Amino acid sequence: MDWDCTEFGEISAIRLQDGRLLAALRRQVPGTVGEGFEDNLLTESVDGGQHWSRPVPLTNNAEVHAYLTALQDGRLLATYANYHLPYGVSAIVSEDQGRTWDREHPIQLALSADVYTGWPVTLQLSDGSLITSYASTTYYREAPDHFTCEVVRWSLP
């Protein structure tokens, strides 16, 4: 992992129960073009953001736009867009405050065969249910004619 990579963006950060900061970073592999060469990394800070750990993988290649949510039961949720089959929006869970993630069992929140989905944001409601909002468009590296905002209300299995 090249921590010196300068091609990071789309940061989502949360404060954990123990006071650590956890941040997801979108990374473009240097010298490449397109989402097939992008992923999300995690980094943490134990001193209020003064210093950050070397990033570790959160998602696989072509899984981007990560958004972190601290859940009422202490688990963490990461929602992200898939730019590989199945296209759409997925979520993964951490049971240990972000140290490990169940990447082998992603939850498919939205599927698409012909549109570009991305930028999911998930909030938990007081009743424990979750709302994930994301954008859909025909956009692919060109200015879109329009965006559609879609919303999924769901609960963890």
pLDDT in tens, 57-110: 999 888 999 999 999 999 999 999 998 877 899 999 999 999 999 999 999 999
Residue 1 pLDDT: 45
pLDDT in tens, 22-34: 999 998 877 776 6
Angstrom distance (rounded) from CA 17 to CA 60: 26
The SS3 call for residue 9 is strand
Structurally, the chain folds into a number of domains equal to: 1
Which of 135, 133, 137 lies closest to 146, judged by CA?
137
The model scores a pTM over 0.85: yes
Q: Is residue 134 part of a domain?
A: yes
CATH number where 48 lies? 2.120.10.10
Residue 65 tokens read as 């736009």
Residue 143 tokens read as 């200015």
Identify the residue with better confidence: 120 or 115: 120
Q: Is residue 3 part of a domain?
A: no
Domain that residue 126 falls in: 8-154
